[in-house]
């Protein structure tokens, strides 16, 4: 009886850990999705003319990206050791093998944002800002993001 209870307890603990890990993976994915919502859903669409140019909305999107990018280092602190169920992209194990290098990819995004902040006046300057930021996102994705499907 005692033994059965211990086994059950271990199983429950194990399930809890798995859930916590999935939760961490989801938080990491949600942060990237939030960034993408502004980068692709606003800046890219506006720079392509899919939505009308709106300086205020562009400035807001950039401010949101700036706030979210500042959360990357902390949000990716723990290795969830699993991908979000059904996700298209996952994190490479390299993130946690080389967390200092991973973190070093954040500052260039912040610099690209600082360089364009408050300087967007038309579609041309928006397009340049979008590309400058996106190139730095890709510098991290190249090494640390994995396509799952």
By CB under 6 A, tell whether 42 contacts ligand HEC: no
Angle formed at CA 141 by CA 136 and CA 142, multiple of 5 degrees: 95
Burial label, 27 (beta-carbon count in 10 A; 0-12, 13-18, 19+): middle
By CB under 6 A, tell whether 109 contacts ligand HEC: yes
Q: Which is nearer to ligand HEC, 46 or 133 (CB)?
A: 133
Instruction: Decide: helix, strand or coil at residue 92.
Output: coil
By CB under 6 A, tell whether 47 contacts ligand HEC: no
By CB under 6 A, tell whether 123 contacts ligand HEC: no
- The single residue among 44, 46, 61, 91 that binds ligand HEC, judged by CB under 6 A, is 91
Alpha helix (H) residue ranges in the chain? 2-38, 45-48, 55-69, 72-75, 94-97, 99-104, 106-116, 123-144
By CB under 6 A, tell whether 65 contacts ligand HEC: yes
Enumerate binding residues for ligand HEC (CB under 6 A): 28-29, 32-33, 35-36, 39, 65, 69, 72, 87-91, 95, 102, 105-106, 109, 133, 137, 140-141, 144-145
């Amino acid at each position: 009886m005692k033994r059965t209870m211990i086994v059950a307890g271990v199983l429950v603990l194990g399930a809890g850990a798995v859930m916590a890990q999935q939760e961490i993976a989801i938080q990491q994915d949600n942060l990237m999705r939030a960034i993408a919502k502004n980068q692709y859903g606003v800046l890219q669409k506006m720079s392509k003319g899919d939505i009308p140019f709106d300086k205020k909305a562009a400035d807001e999107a950039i401010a949101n990206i700036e706030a979210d990018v500042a959360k990357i280092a902390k949000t990716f602190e723990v290795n969830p050791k699993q991908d979000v169920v059904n996700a298209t992209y996952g994190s490479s194990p390299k993130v946690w093998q080389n967390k200092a290098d991973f973190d070093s990819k954040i500052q260039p995004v912040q610099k690209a944002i600082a360089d364009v902040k408050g300087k967007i006046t038309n579609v041309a300057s928006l397009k340049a800002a979008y590309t400058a930021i996106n190139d730095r996102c890709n510098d991290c994705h190249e090494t640390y993001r994995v396509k799952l499907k």
